[in-house]
């Protein structure tokens, strides 16, 4: 069996055309649309642990962190068993090709158990180059760029050499993957993880992609805006339109190179017998419906309306919010050998299920501590008893929280002194009215799903009491 897992960081579900489009216009994703025509399209895929590194740990391990419900932003311990290690025991080689450098740079070591791995360096503030000829410039006020000065300068240095589209990160990473496939496509078994940081900010694709959405724009350019409330940051409606255009351009760039990868499988003659999984780790926000006024995606904001601004610590007190549906509900599509038509899959699924699915594709047994279930029975049209009644997601880091979502309701409980919040995601998408006292039975039903997931990972009643659920 050959399996390719493609991860696009911060890819919003509504920017993939098979899922529809955002309220501000259609997005060009023809490659993913073609892929979806012969794939299972999961309509209710949600994140698990938030954000980037915790999400990768979810999939690598198939469960949460030690003594915690969700994975933290940290590397692998020596005794943690990943699915690439289990594949190695079966003689299946695995390869990681990535530009998401914060997964593999010290102290993160998520590349540990692959047979081999390659990093396309330079993304974000990777310290891969020095160039004193590149000036430090600020297209907008410093506090409206999410990075501190030194990090922002490194971003400018890292991208100063670009001349051709392959010099951009996602194109370069996909090119590395295609080169690897040329040399390894004759293997009967392999697992390949292709992981791009795009369309995560900085939103700096080649200009021809931007021109698809907002040609001739001459205003301020926000490539990596601070996280927070858009209006508090003084970003105008016109500037917001261009921010959305830059993100859409990144999405289309990723789609274009995903299409090149799929074409390479055809040229190499392995398209018909290779399983391909496309997913995102989470989405992001652009002050649209359901975004609660935010740019980006964090479950808290400082007293000044900012949460990540120029590398500064946020101003206290913090205001905690649920995660937006646009950050928690993700695209997930799976093509298996022999599939020729699109199949829409309705049940709620999460990253831990992908772990079990990959293992089953290779005929490997799924360890008991994996809290996900293989998706293959769903793809075969079988009725299965494990369907989740709700997605359980959250963070075990600072501001630890659990959020339970079922498409209609979102219930959020924080550890500590903050009380819970219940919101109707259809009637109140921006989470303005807390319904927890008016709908106690709904809140109790949703928390029951979270408690079951946590108990399934060995957490006891005393630990669960740390969430203020009343």
pLDDT at residue 468, as a whole number: 72
Residue 462's pLDDT band (cuts 50, 70, 90)? confident
Half-sphere exposure of 240 (CA within 13 A, CB side): 18
Tell me the pLDDT tens digit for each residue of 102-124: 899 888 999 999 999 999 999 98
As given in the structure block, the two tokens for residue 104 are: 């593999």
Query: Average of pLDDT values for 413-436?
Result: 93
Quick check: bond before 377 cis, omega within 30? no
pLDDT at residue 417, as a whole number: 78
Tell me the percentage of the chain whose pLDDT exceeds 70: 100
- The yes-or-no answer to whether 2-379 and 400-464 have a common fold is no
Query: Average of pLDDT values for 304-325?
Result: 92
Tell me the pLDDT tens digit for each residue of 159-178: 999 999 999 999 999 999 99
| C-alpha separations of 322 from 198, 390, 443 in Å | 24, 16, 14
- d(C-alpha 38, C-alpha 45), whole Å: 18
Residue 385's pLDDT band (cuts 50, 70, 90)? confident
pLDDT at residue 111, as a whole number: 97
Query: Average of pLDDT values for 314-328?
Result: 94
| C-alpha separations of 187 from 192, 277, 361, 447 in Å | 12, 19, 16, 46
Extract long-range pairs of 135-139: CB within 8 Å, 24+ residues apart: 139/220, 139/221, 139/222, 139/223
Question: Which residue in this structure is represented by tokens 């101003």?
Answer: 315
Q: What is the CATH architecture of 2-379?
A: 3-Layer(aba) Sandwich (3.40)
Residue 387's pLDDT band (cuts 50, 70, 90)? confident
Q: In this model, does residue 463 exceed pLDDT 90? A: no
End-to-end, the C-alpha distance of the chain in Å comes to 49
- For domain 400-464, give the fold: Arylsulfatase, C-terminal domain (3.30.1120)
pLDDT at residue 466, as a whole number: 82
- d(C-alpha 280, C-alpha 40), whole Å: 15
Residue 246's pLDDT band (cuts 50, 70, 90)? very high
Quick check: bond before 199 cis, omega within 30? yes
Instruction: Look up the pTM and report it.
Output: 0.97
No. of helices (H) and no. of strands (E), the chain = 12, 19
- 247 with 203: CB under 8 angstroms? yes
- d(C-alpha 435, C-alpha 194), whole Å: 42
Q: In this model, does residue 449 exceed pLDDT 80? A: yes
As given in the structure block, the two tokens for residue 22 are: 């955002």
- Mean pLDDT taken over the chain: 95
Q: In this model, does residue 125 exceed pLDDT 90? A: no
- Please tell me whether residue 408 adopts helix, strand or coil conformation: coil
Q: In this model, does residue 470 exceed pLDDT 70? A: no
Domain ranges of the chain: 2-379, 400-464
Least confident among 96-110, 333-347, 455-469 = 455-469
């Amino acid at each position: 069996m050959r399996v390719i897992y493609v991860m696009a960081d911060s890819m919003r579900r509504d920017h993939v055309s098979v899922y529809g489009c955002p309220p501000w216009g259609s997005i060009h994703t023809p490659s993913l649309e073609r892929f979806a025509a012969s794939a299972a399209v999961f309509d209710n895929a949600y994140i698990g642990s938030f954000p980037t590194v915790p999400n990768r740990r979810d999939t690598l391990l198939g469960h949460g962190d030690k003594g915690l419900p969700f994975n933290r932003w940290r590397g692998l311990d020596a005794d943690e068993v990943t699915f690439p290690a289990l594949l190695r025991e079966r003689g299946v080689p695995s390869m990681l090709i990535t530009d998401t450098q914060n997964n593999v740079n010290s102290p993160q070591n998520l590349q540990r158990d692959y047979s081999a791995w390659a990093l396309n360096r330079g993304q974000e503030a990777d310290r891969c180059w020095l160039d004193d000829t590149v000036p430090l410039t600020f297209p907008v006020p410093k506090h409206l760029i999410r990075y501190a000065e030194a990090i922002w300068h490194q971003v400018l240095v890292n991208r100063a050499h670009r001349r051709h589209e392959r010099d951009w990160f996602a194109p370069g990473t996909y090119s590395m993957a295609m080169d690897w496939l040329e040399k390894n496509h004759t293997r009967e078994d392999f697992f390949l993880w292709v992981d791009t940081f795009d369309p995560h900010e900085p939103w700096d694709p080649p200009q021809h992609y931007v021109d698809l959405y907002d040609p001739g724009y001459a205003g301020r350019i926000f490539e990596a805006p601070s996280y927070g409330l858009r209006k508090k940051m003084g970003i105008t409606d016109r500037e917001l339109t261009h921010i959305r255009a830059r993100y859409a351009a990144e999405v289309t760039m990723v789609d274009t190179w995903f299409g090149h990868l799929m074409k390479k499988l055809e040229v190499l003659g392995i398209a018909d017998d290779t399983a391909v999984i496309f997913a995102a780790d989470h989405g992001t926000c652009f002050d649209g419906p359901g975004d609660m006024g935010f740019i980006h995606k964090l479950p808290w904001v400082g007293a000044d309306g900012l949460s990540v601004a120029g590398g500064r610590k946020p101003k206290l007190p913090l205001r905690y919010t649920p995660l937006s549906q646009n950050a928690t509900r993700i695209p997930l599509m799976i093509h298996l050998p022999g599939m020729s038509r699109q199949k829409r899959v309705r049940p709620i699924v999460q990253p831990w299920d992908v772990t079990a699915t990959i293992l089953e594709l290779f005929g490997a047994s799924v360890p008991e501590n994996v809290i996900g279930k293989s998706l293959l029975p769903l793809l075969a049209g079988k009725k299965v008893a494990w369907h989740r009644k709700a997605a359980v997601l959250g963070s075990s880091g600072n501001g630890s929280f659990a959020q339970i979502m079922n498409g209609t309701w979102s219930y959020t409980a924080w550890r500590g002194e903050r009380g819970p919040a219940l919101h109707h995601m259809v009637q109140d998408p921006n989470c303005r009215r807390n319904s927890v006292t008016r709908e106690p039975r709904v809140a109790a039903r949703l928390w029951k799903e979270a408690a079951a997931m946590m108990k399934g990972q060995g957490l006891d009643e005393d630990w669960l009491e740390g969430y203020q659920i009343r």
